[in-house]
Structure 1
């Protein structure tokens, strides 16, 4: 039998098309010939489950990842992420902010990077040069001093991309910045962010759907981005009444359907300046913009959703033995400096069939200043 190292490149390339992401790197470590094949491929990577981006190791400064497919952790040296807070992910790229509140867009596996321009002024209430909160003259509570570490966590709530930068150079980045989660956009080559007008209140979530950015308000009003002149948001439907009071809401492009996910939480411990909220259920609905109503979905069949401070992701669970069918995976997304005792704790998977929640990850108490765990789909090619 011929030596494995002597297999032709076309055969080796075909073999790599069946390998999961970690196995592809192991394949490249076998010999020089296999390594050259692993770096150049014509075949798409097999479907991947999202990875969970975790904290930075203090001693090595390597970034920790959790692979849901095999239940293993990986510590990867990514110099561009040293000391940076992860505030979003989209198409396999991470948005990260350093201690000086400078932002980058980076692919953690290829090390490709875009330097982002300075973020818009944090808000009318906070002077980003002094990090001191401005308060009305009749307010007796006094100003609030922020540290740079705190500013890292609250400057950008979420960030997404219209397209994968590796596939389209004319992509658009959109962020929700400041306590009011004000929308702003940036295109490669622009020297600054463009703040988007048309929304008087804060944003709940953003999604890129069928060629447009859609924005959700706390009152379940949907807006679409208009690029004809200066970017602005136009309401595409009046308020859609819902029952209950969701803790958070998400928009997702699911198989060509625009879905709205409601996340309900309960407070299980509350003291002075301390509060612990945990997720108790999620609802999946589809907005009908013509009838101005929400159609509830009771299952998503063989699919699984992944929600958090990332562009919402869905996968076909039948491709992954360890992925829960008809499940919604969620991560902790809020930051509360007064609840540092609890940190980022609320991670789980909601079974839409049984309406129960289970753990997919042994929860650690992540410091709010470390960053919320974020879902990322590996995009190494």
Structure 2
């Protein structure tokens, strides 16, 4: 019988280029040598992201949808029980528990960082018109935690750099706060910083998009004294009472894009459905924007997580210039698939199609794109 552990390293590294993520993990479990090869990030191929769905109340297992295989995986992760997931960057999930404690969790390695309580929750509870119960009765509400923190992003992978930062869009006014690794509390980003629709780290800077004052693009580039500066770039949003726009900032191979996702409101069903997507290329140096008709062949995955950008030439995907999007609200139901605003936008044909994870049942969760980071 052949001794598989004695295969040359260059052969093993070559073989990993053809493995989907589940087989990649199985490859690393064969023996110590194969595990060492699998952990070499330079040889790890990019994969399509997974979608984090809800959990099974009976088993407490969280459901992950593998897009490449069109298959669900139910994984037991105790750290995710009772947690609301409101963001994901570099394969790390940002979660809030019923006591409003915040955490960063890598669900594959189970490594976790405990973060301070979201600020300033006492003031937010007192002024929030949606709340009709005392604060101690409201903290278990997923809807409340969804209102409390809209999005969370990382500047670096905590596995690579211990001096990482987390930035959140929080509260009724959609303001910005940040936390450096090791800080005892959240800090506020000063300046023009309310009604933030999206945030993104790109080229070492934090960019934010606000719905106020002609939909301006803002930047934070000095973290010794973090302040928001509005750039002289205005991009109109074509919204009305029946159509809302969800803007997303995306870095595609060093270029900054603004993706505008237009969602039409159905009064009878009380639901919003994506009806159009427009993409703008942002030229920071010249402070201008222009319509973009392609994404350099890349596939973009958008939702409440940080955007995931995949180059089809080096991944397991045959789609180019495509945008996958997820729903941005809770109350999804396996028996009401028409309520799930999941889809694919082809920029080449300007046509929409659907992808349907099997057995969708996430009444207490927002679907989150998750780029698996097994190390």
Query: What's the TM-score, normalizing by structure 2?
Result: 0.86
Note if 1:250 corresponds to 2:274: no
Report the alpha carbon displacement of residue 261 of structure 1 after superposing the two structures with TM.
Answer: 0.4
User: 2:258 aligns to what?
Assistant: 260
The farther-off stretch of 259-268 and 314-323 is 314-323
- State how many pairs are aligned: 361
List per-residue Cα deviations over 1:175-220 (Å, max 9, x = no partner). 0111222100001110000011212531010010111101100132
Aligned match for 1:210, one of 196, 203, 212 = 203
User: 1:185 aligns to what?
Assistant: 178
Whether the 8 Å contact between 1:344 and 1:367 is mirrored in structure 2 is no
Structure 1's unaligned 5+ residue stretches are: 128-132, 136-141
User: 2:119 aligns to what?
Assistant: 120
User: 1:148 aligns to what?
Assistant: 140
Equivalent residue of 1:105, what SS?
strand
User: 1:356 aligns to what?
Assistant: 351
Aligned match for 2:234, one of 231, 236, 239 = 239
User: 1:47 aligns to what?
Assistant: 46
Report the alpha carbon displacement of residue 50 of structure 1 after superposing the two structures with TM.
Answer: 0.8
User: 1:201 aligns to what?
Assistant: 194
Report the alpha carbon displacement of residue 221 of structure 1 after superposing the two structures with TM.
Answer: 0.6
Report the alpha carbon displacement of residue 234 of structure 1 after superposing the two structures with TM.
Answer: 1.0
User: 1:138 aligns to what?
Assistant: none
What is the rounded CA distance, in whole Å, between the counterparts of 2:358 and 2:86 in structure 1?
20
Report the alpha carbon displacement of residue 94 of structure 1 after superposing the two structures with TM.
Answer: 0.6
What is the rounded CA distance, in whole Å, between the counterparts of 1:93 and 1:42 in structure 2?
16
Query: What's the TM-score, normalizing by structure 1?
Result: 0.85
Seen in structure 2, the aligned counterparts of structure 1 residues 42 and 310 have a Cα distance that, compared at 3 Å, is closer
> 1:1-381 to 2 correspondence within 5 Å?
3-8=2-7, 10=9, 13-14=12-13, 17-18=16-17, 19-30=19-30, 32=31, 36-37=35-36, 40-41=39-40, 44-122=43-121, 124-127=123-126, 133=127, 144-145=132-133, 146=138, 148-149=140-141, 150-199=143-192, 201-218=194-211, 219-227=214-222, 229-237=224-232, 239-244=234-239, 246-268=244-266, 270-271=267-268, 275-289=270-284, 292-320=287-315, 322-334=317-329, 345-362=340-357, 366=361, 370-381=364-375
List per-residue Cα deviations over 1:333-355 (Å, max 9, x = no partner). 14589xxx899611111011121
Report the alpha carbon displacement of residue 287 of structure 1 after superposing the two structures with TM.
Answer: 2.4
Whether the 8 Å contact between 2:330 and 2:362 is mirrored in structure 1 is no
Structure 2's unaligned 5+ residue stretches are: none
What is the rounded CA distance, in whole Å, between the counterparts of 1:121 and 1:343 in structure 2?
37
Whether the 8 Å contact between 1:199 and 1:233 is mirrored in structure 2 is yes
Report the alpha carbon displacement of residue 267 of structure 1 after superposing the two structures with TM.
Answer: 1.6
Whether the 8 Å contact between 1:224 and 1:235 is mirrored in structure 2 is yes
User: Relative CO higher for 1 or 2, CA cutoff 8 Å, sep ≥ 6?
Assistant: 2
What is the rounded CA distance, in whole Å, between the counterparts of 1:359 and 1:164 in structure 2?
31
